[in-house]
Chain A
Amino acid sequence: MIKLATILNKGLPITEDPYGSLAELLNTSKEEILKEINKLMAENKIIKFRAELDYEKLGYKVSALIAMQISINIERAIDDICKVKNVTHFYERESPESFPYNFYAMTHFKNESDLNAFLDKLNNLEINYKVLKTLKKYKRGGTKI
Chain B
Amino acid sequence: MEMIDKKILALMQEAFPVVSDPYLELSKKLGISKIELFSRVKALYDAGYILKISPKYARNTKAIGALIALEVEKELEDKIAEAINNYEEVSHNYIRDSDYSIWFTISTTSAKGFENIISKIREIKGVKNMLILSSKKLYKLNVEFEVYD
Contact = CB atoms under 8 A, between A and B. Distances in A.
A52 B140 contact: no
Given A8-B54, A16-B38, A94-B136, A54 B94 contact: no
Contact of A53 (B51, B57, B132): B51
A50 interface: yes
A88 B20 contact: no
Given A53-B13, A55-B145, A91 B57 contact: no
A11 B12 CA distance: 13
B55 interface: yes
B90 interface: yes
Interface of A: 8-12, 14, 16-19, 30, 34, 37-38, 40-41, 44-55, 57-60, 65, 78, 81-82, 85, 87-96, 98-99, 101, 104, 106, 108, 110, 130-145
Interface string B122-149: 0000000001111111111111011101
Interface of B: 9, 12-23, 34, 38, 41-42, 45, 47-58, 66-67, 69, 81-82, 84-85, 88, 90-98, 100-101, 103-104, 131-143, 145-147, 149
22 contacts: A16-B34, A18-B53, A34-B18, A41-B18, A46-B57, A48-B18, A52-B13, A53-B147, A54-B50, A58-B147, A89-B140, A91-B135, A91-B138, A93-B67, A98-B131, A99-B100, A101-B133, A132-B98, A136-B81, A137-B93, A139-B90, A141-B91
A18 B14 CA distance: 18
Contacts of B12: 50-51
Nearest to A51: B12
B56 A50 contact: yes
Contacts of A47: 55-58
B133 A134 contact: no
Contacts of A19: 18, 20, 22
Chain A interface mostly = mixed
Contacts of A78: 139
Nearest to A94: B134
A25 to B, nearest CB: 14
A34 B52 contact: no
A14 B66 CA distance: 34
Given A18-B53, A82-B140, A93-B133, 14 more contacts: A30-B20, A37-B55, A47-B56, A48-B18, A51-B53, A59-B149, A85-B146, A96-B131, A99-B69, A133-B96, A134-B94, A135-B95, A137-B93, A139-B85
A52 to B, nearest CB: 5
A59 B90 CA distance: 26
